[in-house]
Amino acid sequence: MKRVLKLGTLQSRIYTIFTLMIFATVFIMQLVSFRFTMSTVINSTLENNRILLGQLVSQIDSYMLGMEQIAHAVQDDPEIIEYLQHKDSGSPVEYNSIQQRLGNYIHARNDISDIIIVGNGGAVITGDPDSSLNPWTDITQKNWYTDALNSSGETVISSSYVQNIVQNRYSWVISLSKEIFSVDNSKSIGVLLVDLKFNQIKDLCQSLVVGSKGYNFIIDSDRNYIFHPTQQLIYSNLRNEPIDSIYSLLNSSEQKFYHAEGKYFMIETSAITAWHVVSVTYDSDIITDWRFVQISYAIIALILFLVVGFATNRISTGITKPVRKLLAVMKSVDTGEFRLVGPIKATDEIRELAREYDLMVGHIRNLMNENIKEQELKRKSDLKALQAQINPHFLYNTLDSIIWMGEMKQTREVVLMTSALSKLFRISISKGREFIPLVDEISHVESYLTIQKMRYKDKFEYSIKIEPDLYRCTILKITLQPLVENAIYHGIKEVDHKGKILITGKEIDGIIKLEVIDNGKGMTEEEMKNLNMSLNGSPSPSVLSRQGLGVHNVHERIQLYFGKNYGLTYFHAEGGGTRLTVQIPLEEVEV
Amino acid sequence: MKNWYLFILSLVAAFVLFIALSFFYNQNTSKGLELAEPIQIVLKSIEGQPMDFWDVVNQGIDEAAKEFGVQVKISGPRFEKEINRQINILNAVIDDKPPLIILAANDYNRLVESVEKADSLGIPVITIDSGIQSDIPVSFIATNNKIAGEKAGKEMKNLIALNTEKYIAIVSHIKETSSAIDREAGVRNSLKGQDIIGTWFCDVDPEKAYLITLDLLKDKRIGGIVALNEVATIGVARAIKEKKASDRVFVVGFDNAVKELSYLEEGIIKATVVQRPYNMGYLGVKTAVEYLKGEKVDSYMDTGSILITKDNMFKREYQELLFPVSN
């Protein structure tokens, strides 16, 4: 049986439906779980980024807090207050000592660019004794100065900008400025400026980034950029950040990030500076390993497909294989060969089906055998009846001959013929037995020949040469007489010369071979072939014209009793004429 | 069903799944440009004067290289005047067979031969800042020097109107550089009808510019000097300051060295036209990446210029431009 997928078979249906269903299930499952994994990874990455952003903001805050503490320390320095309150009467020594103090504060931390105190009257104390003030700029016009005066003692934190207060020095700073009050807090005596190196903030922002491309930027509450790694691109409109969408995150408690152009934006506000720090993460940095995940998923799916495929294959074959076997066995009925399925490996239903089928076939076989036997019996009894009948013409003719010989007073001939006729009848009947000893059969045919020879007035002569060892063997009664009758009527009667009939009998390899040979008309090759063939079928009228029904019946009877290996065969006899042989099995008669 | 049949079916299904999974994330990750060799960039000068300008160009280059995920290699002579050295460097770079060369040419004519060689080897060239006398470069990204010159000339025209002396002199940097040629043309374009007494070349040497100016100051009719680059501006300003001539001779310069800005605050220089070197570097690499990806690129891109005076020099939006945040 070829195992190829054929549409329309049960196996292919089961296979196709199962495979499709399971493949689709695996497919959808993989897609869903991949999507889920992806969103989980993205969310956890973003959550980590949020923590990082929170750290950045708190670092900025604590940094600014530290700066404010320094501002407080400077502001509360009694010597400085003392100096500012009495600067008109102050000595240069005092100025220098204050400058030194400021210098100490600056050097205490490497992130302070400058500390400057501006007195009420415009006197400026810088922390660096070597620097000189920029003569072309007006301190009182600076934002940090005016803002400090306007905010009554609160610390003012500026945006990032370029400080030009010291000549020939343009440094990027963030300024903390504060109004200084006299000891009794009664009146303003000046403004303190602490400039932080902007690089500190910049480095902070650039150190806490995610991935190879991610970055942070800072905007103040007026939406001015305090820090952006590519500020120049922003100002030249070569790059834009979606500030409005990012700002809307501040008012939304649910939405934690904004996603656009392959980037995730998150915003966090610094409590001290009121700056908004935005962290930007690129998709490509989150999903660097997705190709690997994707391949893993595909491989898992492949394994599932294979396992499921093989399993489906096994299941569908398991169901259909016994059915196919059953089918093959059932097909044998077509050829008349009733095969049994026998024990079969299959599900209960199929096993039951096979068993019922076997039972059914068994019944059919029995019925058929019985039928054949009945037919044979019927045929045997038919033939027996036929065989027992003596041709009435033969009887009339013989009786006419007897009458005629009686009238002629040929008493010896009358006795001879009558006794032969009597013997003929006695053996024909044989008390109803089918089988008789060969010796009886010989006397039966001899009686027949005696009568015929007398009737045909020595038209022919005969001789019987049968081995005497065979006399006690059994034979179907009335086997030889029809053959001899045939030899006379269809052989000798047709020719003018004196006929001869020879009956021989011998044993060859457990088979008795009897032959009736005549020197009559004989037949052509064609006729002989037809006769031999017609022996095994029903005789056609043209054949019957050449051969008596009796011969055919003898052949049929022998075959019914002994099988197809036995029966009659026509041959050409030497010197013309016909040789008809009979083969029957050698059986001793039971005594 | 045959096993190999099932195997192929499973493989196909797994492959389809693989493709389907791609749709979940591939739409947003544009494919980066994979280059076997870095893009080679040959600048006018890498450590000589003027430093600041090329430092900022470098910052732009680095940012773009990071953003677009490409490798770049920067080289160049120490000084702008070393034209032969730049030719040698360019030839050496061509031998490396880079995917693309970005060039800031020190000479309008003498680098053409090397660029033609690169072209014959199938290496595309993009020029930045200063171009060459050739159609080969696929793109030229620079300040439109003519427009920049016109801005300087227009400012000078306004200033000279307030001055009693009307003669104007031009101090340029190198005679055969396209930037010098174009800026001068722009200046002269805006100053049509004014008395321009001539153009002097300082050969990118501040000392020479200083000496030229000292010479010019001897002529009392001089009322304005336009200096065409950073070195020339610094040299001119030094002479003016020394001779305390800032009220008599008005200077309009180019570029934004710290010293120049200091002179601007001081009032020695009345205005300066600044370029956007950061954008030049950034757009140079961006255009290179676009070209290598097979996208269409503009054959010419103006990175723009801005006139800076004492009044607007501390405006927030110009601060990164004028005072680059050092790394």
CA distance A307 to chain B (A): 10
What type of residue sits at position A309? G
- Spatial neighbors of B274 by CB under 8 A, at least 6 apart, are B254, B255, B256, B305, B306, B308, B318, B321, B322
Which of B85, B78, B129, B77 is CA-nearest to residue B108? Answer: B129
Q: Which of A3, A218, A226, A236 to mutate against chain B (most B CBs within 10 Å)? A: A236
pLDDT of amino acid A2? 44
The token pair at A34 is 């991949």
**A335: buried, middle or exposed (CB in 10 Å: 19+, 13-18, 0-12)?**
exposed
Say if the Cβ atoms of B17 and A301 lie within 8 Å. Answer: yes
* CA–CA separation, B289 and A267 (whole Å): 31
**What are A399-408's contacts with CB under 8 Å, separation 24+?**
A401/A451, A401/A454, A401/A455
| B126, part of any domain | yes
- Does residue B60 contact residue B281 with C-beta atoms inside 8 Å? yes
* CA–CA separation, B276 and B56 (whole Å): 9
Q: Residue A3: which of B1, B266, B276 has the nearest Cβ?
A: B1
pLDDT of amino acid A543? 62
CA distance A334 to chain B (A): 29
- Spatial neighbors of A413 by CB under 8 A, at least 6 apart, are A405, A454
* CA–CA separation, A115 and A72 (whole Å): 12
Query: How many other CB atoms are there within 10 angstroms of residue A547's CB atom?
Result: 22
By C-alpha distance, the chain B residue nearest A306 is: B10
- Point out the residues of chain A with pLDDT beneath 70: 1-7, 87-93, 287-289, 385, 387-390, 538-548, 589-591
pLDDT of amino acid A144? 87
| B310, part of any domain | no
Place of tokens 């304005």: B224
Task: Decide if A15 touches B, using CB distance below 8 A.
Answer: yes
Task: Decide if B300 touches A, using CB distance below 8 A.
Answer: no
Q: What are phi and psi of A187, to 5 degrees?
A: -140, 155
Say if the Cβ atoms of B14 and A299 lie within 8 Å. Answer: yes
Say if the Cβ atoms of B5 and A5 lie within 8 Å. Answer: yes
Say if the Cβ atoms of B325 and A212 lie within 8 Å. Answer: no
B136 with B196, same domain: the answer is no
Say if the Cβ atoms of B326 and A168 lie within 8 Å. Answer: no
pLDDT of amino acid A120? 78
pLDDT of amino acid A536? 74
What CATH number does residue B250 fall under? 3.40.50.2300
Residues 178-217 of chain A whose Cβ lies under 8 A from any Cβ of chain B:
198-199, 202, 212-213
CA distance A105 to chain B (A): 24
| B180, part of any domain | yes
Mode of pairing for the β-strands spanning B101-103 and B250-254: unpaired
What type of residue sits at position A456? Y
Domain that holds residue B102: 39-143+277-296
Q: Residue A31: which of B3, B5, B20 has the nearest Cβ?
A: B20
Largest CA distance in chain B: 106
Which of the following CATH numbers is that of domain A389-585: 2.120.10.10, 1.10.760.10, 3.40.50.300, 3.30.565.10? 3.30.565.10
**A568: buried, middle or exposed (CB in 10 Å: 19+, 13-18, 0-12)?**
buried
What ipTM does this complex have? Answer: 0.80
- Structurally, chain B folds into a number of domains equal to 2
* CA–CA separation, B313 and B322 (whole Å): 8
Task: Decide if B30 touches A, using CB distance below 8 A.
Answer: yes
* pLDDT tens, residue by residue, B232-280: 999 999 999 999 988 999 999 998 888 888 899 989 999 999 998 889 9
B194 with B258, same domain: the answer is yes
Say if the Cβ atoms of A294 and B14 lie within 8 Å. Answer: no
B111 with B51, same domain: the answer is yes
Say if the Cβ atoms of B314 and A161 lie within 8 Å. Answer: yes
Q: Is the pLDDT confidence value at B214 over 70?
A: yes
Residues 144-183 of chain A whose Cβ lies under 8 A from any Cβ of chain B:
159, 161-162, 164, 167-168, 170, 172
- Does residue B168 contact residue B160 with C-beta atoms inside 8 Å? yes
B179 with B284, same domain: the answer is no
pLDDT of amino acid B51? 56
H or E segment to which residue A304 belongs: helix A290-331
- Does residue B126 contact residue B139 with C-beta atoms inside 8 Å? yes
Task: Please report how the helices A198-207 and A10-75 are oriented relative to each other, as an axis angle in degrees rounded to 10.
Answer: 160
B136 with B283, same domain: the answer is yes
pLDDT of amino acid A159? 86
pLDDT of amino acid A589? 59
Q: Residue B265: which of A19, A134, A236 has the nearest Cβ?
A: A134
B281 with B138, same domain: the answer is yes
- Does residue A210 contact residue A51 with C-beta atoms inside 8 Å? no
pTM over 0.90: no
* pLDDT tens, residue by residue, B79-131: 877 889 999 999 999 998 899 999 998 888 888 999 999 999 999 999 998 88
Chain B residues in contact with A206 (beta carbon < 8 A): none
Q: Where in chain B does DSSP place strands (E)?
A: 39-42, 72-75, 101-103, 125-128, 139-142, 167-172, 196-201, 222-227, 250-254, 271-275, 300-302, 305-309
Residues 237-276 of chain B whose Cβ lies under 8 A from any Cβ of chain A:
258, 261-262, 265-267, 276
* CA–CA separation, B68 and B70 (whole Å): 6
* CA–CA separation, A62 and A285 (whole Å): 29
| B73, part of any domain | yes
* pLDDT tens, residue by residue, B252-263: 999 888 888 889
Place of tokens 């040299």: B235
Which of A277, A274, A273, A226 is CA-nearest to residue A68? Answer: A273
pLDDT of amino acid A390? 66
pLDDT of amino acid A591? 46
Query: How many other CB atoms are there within 10 angstroms of residue A262's CB atom?
Result: 15
Whether the ω angle into residue B50 lies within 30 degrees of 0, i.e. cis, is yes
* CA–CA separation, A387 and A384 (whole Å): 5
* CA–CA separation, A252 and A245 (whole Å): 11
| B32, part of any domain | no
Q: What are phi and psi of A252, to 5 degrees?
A: -110, 130
| B19, part of any domain | no
Say if the Cβ atoms of B262 and A168 lie within 8 Å. Answer: yes
The token pair at A585 is 């099995």
B169 with B269, same domain: the answer is yes
pLDDT of amino acid A387? 67
SS3 assignment for A526-539: HHHHHHHHHHCCCC
Q: Is the pLDDT confidence value at B200 over 90?
A: yes
* CA–CA separation, B50 and B271 (whole Å): 19
- The arrangement of secondary structure in A76-201, i.e. its CATH architecture, is 2-Layer Sandwich (3.30)
Domains in chain A: boundaries: 76-201, 389-585
DSSP code per residue over B184-252: HHHHHHHTTTS-EEEEEE-TT-HHHHHHHHHHHHTSTTEEEEEE-SHHHHHHHHHHHHHTT-TTTSEEE
